[in-house]
Chain A
Amino acid sequence: MSVRSFRATFECAVAAQGVTTASRTAISALRENPGGSDRRPIPPRFLRHSDEQTVVGLAAVLQAMDEEPLRDVCFDEWGVVAAPMFPGRLSGALTFQKYEQGGPAAISPHIIPQNSLHSVSSAISISLAMHGLNFGIGGGPEALAEGLTVAMTLVDHRLLPGLWLVLTQWWPEPVPDGLGSTQTETTCLAVALGLRSVESGQQAGLTLRWTACPEADAMGTLVRVVSQAEERAVAGGTQRSAAPLADLASWLAEGAGRRSAPWSFGLPWGGRVELAQANYLMHAKAA
């Protein structure tokens, strides 16, 4: 049975983290100045055509890069993976309107490079001059689960000195107005985690860990076939994996001294991801 050969845990260190939440108005300001210290100047107007999730994602990474553990780190060979949820909805709706009214000549050449699934990671890689791998993950309702899964399997000091995992989404998901914006009361949220392998010697406070479900192991099966989103769709519900990213952002914002328990998230294909103070997980292991 496959379970016997299945690796039971993955673990990596979270060297730094950043959280950005921005309204539509705030995003306009972030386009001009996404923040961060002067050591990483963003080229003027670089974000002019960027998707909103790119703007907040970059701002979250810049915030994390200024944290103490990373202040003197060279990021030249770091990688970046980004898991946005429904990138390009607002600009896509505008594009479809323009096509209907003005034909193919009205289609912006920026829509594909700037509003696709790869766009968030690419813009961060370029703006911060990082030459490690970069790609987008997810794009749909399971983006958070997909992003965590992929990032955890890539963190390896033999492959990369470090990896940025950037998780973004609108909450709630906006209804486009067809003009490139929305009337929905919504905010764009980004969490950036700077990940390094535990072997790299990074002893920062947080550890990200995936474990198989013990009860599932005992049953000889680790996974559910149907994803959480699909289950909810079948049940007629529409609340998807939206809250977990907001929960993660809140948990990170609480600060080390006030976190009473790990942040925990069940993956649709089995097992759980936990984010916790490193000493919490050490105690849990010992117990």
Chain B
Amino acid sequence: MTQRVWITGVGAATPLGSDFATFAENLLGGKSGVVARSLVPQGLGPHQFIAAVDEIPIPSGWDAARFRHHNRLEQLVLSCTARALADAGLDEERGHLRIGLVLGLGAEYLRVWELDTLAGGNRVYTPDRDVCSVVHFVQHELGLSGPAVSVAAACASGGYALGLARRWIQLGWVDVCLAGGCDLITPMSYAGFYNLRALSRRDDSPSLASRPFDQARDGFVMGEGGSVFVLEGDAKARRRNASCYAEFAGFGATSDASHMVIPSSEPQSASRAVRLALDDAGANPEDVDYVNAHAAGTPVGDRAEARVLQLALGDAVSRVPVSSTKSMTGHLLSGAAAVEALACLVAIEHQAVPPTINLDDPDPECDLQHVPHHACPAPVRVAASNSFGFGGSNTCLVFRKAA
């Protein structure tokens, strides 16, 4: 029989806060994390709207100067990972356990080379300096002994990381697995998405720019940050009487095989990922109490996802509350799936569905059971989270409340 897998620790750094309580309060309070910043010095207007992480938390017991010496991507990943381990109460045990690490990091080296270039370095021209990737840097810093890998499926990266970590536990490959996803906003990544015409070009108010499912949406708002989770098998979690956020009950993944950037207009492949995840969780569409949608606020993508959910959930789609928390966090790219998994844990913990803010005028082609503006108290036993990425990657994660 397949072993059940539990989430027993969380470490996060998001535009809505970097601890579970603050993130939950802001998420359920419908607060926008989007601000105006002068990120790109010239050419794209006086400021850009982004959802930023102002200060990456230093993990308890770490020397501040040494921590800040690392580049910002290393700081972000190390912060989330170390604090997740501590949250699970495994900080002291890590030397005795085979702990794996799976991180969704979509464009790691492009980010690292860019950060270095902007600081006046020439690392991209010096291959000999690329001796250790971020995931192995973190593995080494934390003294972890299991396998450590980076995975990438663009905006679905964190979904694959969590799905793979769960499988490693079920196969007996590791005792415990840290998994999640992180990403940063950099000037050139911003410019790349801007030139792709994927970003919102609204310039009225930052907090109004990210508006998934709304008629007036015109693209997404970039966000940064991430979240890392501690995954444990049933037996181990019970043995040490671990406190659990939720069961990570199901995972599904498929590919559109359609286009490198544009989601398929045909919903079959993505809806199959949702159904695979529900089947894996032993759940029916009628069992789902909340869907955290991928919906980033692009005209094409939100409509495509509505069709996906209509096909995957069938008649239940008229009842299941659906929201996009990207309306508050922005789109964290490689970090999105992990932070939206965190939003599902908040929904389960607080028995309330987070809202889609700025949803003033729902697009009639996104006919779903929306939760506009304000969180809605509701029994949430099963929550699902969709993530769809460039390259046609579709993942769905299903979480279930601990009995």
Contact = CB atoms under 8 A, between A and B. Distances in A.
Contacts of A1: 96
B131 A175 contact: no
B140 to A, nearest CB: 6
A225 B140 contact: yes
A29 interface: no
Contact of A113 (B140, B146, B390): B390
B285 interface: no
A252 interface: no
Contact of B108 (A5, A117, A227): A117
A196 to B, nearest CB: 17
B109 A140 contact: yes
A226 B43 CA distance: 45
Contact of A86 (B106, B109, B140, B187): B109
Nearest to B233: A5
A2 interface: yes
A80 to B, nearest CB: 8
B160 A133 contact: yes
Interface in B138-187: 139-140, 143-154, 156-157, 160, 164, 167-168, 171-173, 175, 187
A118 B109 contact: no
B139 A107 contact: no
A210 to B, nearest CB: 10
A226 B40 CA distance: 38
Nearest to B197: A109
Interface string B284-322: 000000000000000000000000000000000000000
B136 A96 contact: no
A123 interface: yes
Contacts of A95: 188
Contacts of B156: 135
Contacts of A132: 254-255
Contacts of B196: 109, 112-113
Contact of A107 (B132, B160, B188): B188
Contacts, number: 262
A139 interface: yes
A87 interface: yes
Contact of B145 (A176, A225, A232): A225
Interface string B248-264: 00000111111111000
Contact of A140 (B136, B167, B197, B258): B136
A227 B146 CA distance: 11
B98 A223 contact: yes
Contact of B132 (A108, A125, A140): A140
Given A109-B192, A133-B254, A96 B113 contact: yes
Interface string B7-51: 000000000000000000000000000000000111110000000
Interface residues of A, number: 78
B130 A137 contact: no
Interface in B109-144: 109-110, 113-114, 117, 124-128, 130-133, 135-136, 139-140, 143-144
Given A7-B172, A233-B131, A2 B98 contact: yes
Interface string A96-138: 1001000111011101111111110111011011111111111
Contacts of B131: 141, 229-230, 232-233, 238, 240
Interface stretch (A34-42, A147-155, A198-206, A255-263): A147-155
A104 B260 contact: no
A266 interface: no
Contacts of A274: none
Nearest to B116: A96
A112 to B, nearest CB: 5
Contacts of B150: 117, 137-140, 146
Given A6-B98, A141-B132, A229-B132, A130 B257 contact: yes
Given A130-B257, A134-B392, A225-B143, A118 B106 contact: yes
Given A122-B392, A126-B391, A173-B127, 8 more contacts: A5-B175, A116-B110, A117-B105, A132-B254, A134-B391, A137-B149, A141-B131, A176-B124
CB-based closest 6 A-B pairs? A122-B391, A140-B133, A104-B191, A117-B152, A233-B131, A109-B196
